[in-house]
Structure 1
Amino acid sequence: MNLQQFRFVRETIRRNFNLTDAARALFTSQPGVSKSIIEFEDELGIKIFERHGKRIKGLTKPGQSVALVIDRIMREVDNLKKVSDEFARRDEGSLVIGCTHAQARYILPKVIPQFRKRFPKVHVSLAEGNPPHLAKLVLHEHADVAIATETLAHTPGLAAMPVYSWEHTIVVLPDHPLAQLKSSEAKNITLEAIAKYPIVTYDHAFSGRNSIDQAFSAVGLVPDIVLEAIDADVIKTYVDVGLGIGIIAGMAYDPRRDKGLVGLPVGHLFGTHTTRVAVKSGVFLRDYVYVLLEMLAPALTREVVQEAIDRSPKAE
């Protein structure tokens, strides 16, 4: 058995048992992947994959155990490479940050310029997506870290740590009836008052949308949500053209930038939310990853991060 066989098995699982996709990802041929896996199974004396004809349908019961062992072996192989890079090229390398649009637009611009100034030889990439996708990117080691509000804290195999807390804000046009409320009155705004108007807000996978739905449902209201979007900029655009009132994450509203809109904090209606950053458990982190984490949240020192990794649940 050899590392190439391990890579083929791992990538086949990651590509939902599609040998063609696995071969493409590994820059090799589909017959070569298939032949190597069969040879590996023969050497082990067990079948790793369930098959229907020539197609792979899933893992056998012993295959599930083999897959866990292969994942551990390949993780340590990757760690060896990272250890080598850490000491041979301490301030060089790459950093892939998985993030939602909100983090890419409103949070990371405060951090990345500072990071780049300190590590000018590190190539930084942003991989945007919804929280479940970001969790998979880190688990499959296609991203070094992920930043999101949902999913990360509940994904086995990830160490998720709090970065900051936030609340929702309503945005309306200046001539809207809700805009006439005094700042002292905004904290008394009710769900009934909001439900009178068409609403533009997030897609269900993003920025605390579930808490919005649950709040209305708890008081027996069905809001008229006329448009759903994955980021606050789109929501604000449609509020600006008069489609309805917007419900967005508070950090996405800046009165200096959003001069054509009025913002009303409504944390008392939809609760407080925590955005987290996650890394994969058991993965060796380059020094500059620890620095990035502490830039995101000063409380995330190397010791705190390592403790979170040590106590995080393992992937199934």
Structure 2
Amino acid sequence: MNVQQLRCICEVARQDLNVSKAAETLNTSQPGVSTQIRQLEEELGFAIFVRQRSRLVAISSDGALVIERAQRALMEIDDIRQLGRAHRTDENGTLAIAASHTQARFRLPTVLSKFTREYPKVQITIRPESGKAILDALITGRADIGVLSTFDSLPVGLVALPFHTYRRVLLVPIGHELLDMERPSLEDIARYPIVVFEPSNSRTTLLRELDRLHLRSPTLLQGTNADVVKAYVEHGLGVTVLPDIAFDPQRDFGLRAINVDHLFPESTTYLVLNNKHYLRPYTYAFITMLAPQLRREIVQKACTSSNP
């Protein structure tokens, strides 16, 4: 049994049994991945994957247990390497951040600008992801930090630290009729085409409220991110509800924001970590730049208390 075999089975599982994609991610050949898996199965004495005509179609029950333990083993191995690098230098290394598009686009740039000035040798990777993909990246070790505002449930091994609350605003183009209303209702909003983006906490909140009242917008347009959604609204294609951080009156001069605190409660932004991962000193530095109240001892205590 070797590390490469463990990487192969974990990556194949992560790629939904697509051996070709797994090989590409691991920078190796498809036959090489298949050989590594076969050798591990022969050593264990059972099949990790269920096959039909040499094609992987499922993960066996025993295989699921192996993959779960392999993922933990790989994270431990990575942490050992991180410890070694940390002893050599505290200012060299990598930092992978998985964040929702809104956070990556509107919150992180200022923090990253400060961080890169203080830690110029740290290589940063930003992964704009959906909520589920962010959690998956943390579990598999592809991300060190997650920043998001919504998740259905938190997988075992992850810890979520709230650090910011935000409001939502209704965005409309200049001269829109809704600007004449002091407190527009959901019924008022539903009379106009609605522009949303997926995935988005604002989207689910707005549409869930409309569904609750059995309201339907005449048109529902979807954009790929907040910038696209705002462009659609500015061009008169509809209205939208977004986190207030996504609106800057100095930049979005073709839009107007309407207060809708009476319609939507405040929401929370979370910093999510894997409590099994070793955090480098500069990772703690980034966290305190993002959320000054999350001092190192607070983060360590949260990770320790959630670690069975």
Asked if 1:230 corresponds to 2:224, the answer is: yes
Q: Aligned partners of 1:15 and 1:174: how far apart in 2? A: 45
Q: TM-score if structure 2 supplies the norm length? A: 0.91
Distance in 2 between residues matched to 1:144 and 1:238, nearest whole Å: 34
CA distance in 2, matches of 1:303, 1:156: 22
State the Cα distance separating 1:17 from its structure 2 match.
2.0
In structure 2, stretches of 5+ residues that fail to align are none
CA shift digits 1:132-169 (9 cap, x unpaired): 22222222222222212122853333222213111211
Instruction: Give the 3 Å change call, closer, same or farther, for CA 231–21 of structure 1 in structure 2.
Output: closer
- The yes-or-no answer on 1:296 pairing with 2:290 is yes
Give percent identity, aligned residues only: 34
Q: Is residue 173–residue 261 contact of structure 1 (8 Å, CA) maintained in 2?
A: yes
Q: What do you get for the CA RMSD once the two structures are aligned?
A: 2.1
Structure 1, unpaired ranges of 5+: none
What letter corresponds to residue 131 of structure 1 in structure 2? G
Q: Is 1:152–1:278's contact at 8 Å kept on the other side of the alignment?
A: no
Deviation of 1:190 after TM superposition, in Å, equals 1.3
Deviation at 1:7, TM superposition (A): 2.1
Query: SS at 2:258's partner residue?
Result: strand
Tell me, yes or no, if the aligned pair for 2:168 and 2:243 is still in contact at 8 Å. Answer: yes
Change (3 A) 1:262 1:77: same
**Does the Cα contact within 8 Å between 1:99 and 1:148 map onto a contact in 2?**
yes
- The whole-number CA distance in structure 2 between the counterparts of 1:192 and 1:272 is 21
Question: Does the aligned pair in 2 maintain the 1:99–1:129 contact within 8 Å?
Answer: yes
Secondary structure of 2:286 counterpart: helix
Report how far residue 218 of structure 1 moved.
2.3
| Cα shift at 1:119 | 0.7
Deviations 1:95-116 (A, max 9, x none): 1211222112210122111111
Aligned 1:69-108 pairs, distance under 5 A: 69-108=69-108
Report matched runs for 1:190-201 at 5 Å.
Answer: 190-201=185-196
CA offsets, 1:184-240, max 9 Å, x none?
A: x3xx3211222222222333x213311111212222322234312232222221222
Q: Is the 8 A contact 2:170 2:241 kept in 1?
A: yes
Letter in 1 for 2:23: A
* Structure 2: distance between partners of 1:149 and 1:225: 26
Secondary structure of the 1:236 match is helix
Match of 1:16 in 2: 16
The amino acid that maps onto 1:160 is A
Shift of 1:92: 0.8
Query: TM-score, structure 1 length as denominator?
Result: 0.89
State the AA in 2 paired with 1:141. G
Which residue pairs with 1:119 in the alignment?
119
Query: Contact 1:201–1:225 (CA<8 Å) still a contact in 2?
Result: no
* Aligned-partner Cα distance in 1 for 2:152–2:307: 12
CA–CA distance in structure 2, aligned partners of residues 10 and 69 of structure 1: 10
- Name the structure 1 match of 2:275: 281
1:150/1:208 contact within 8 Å kept: no
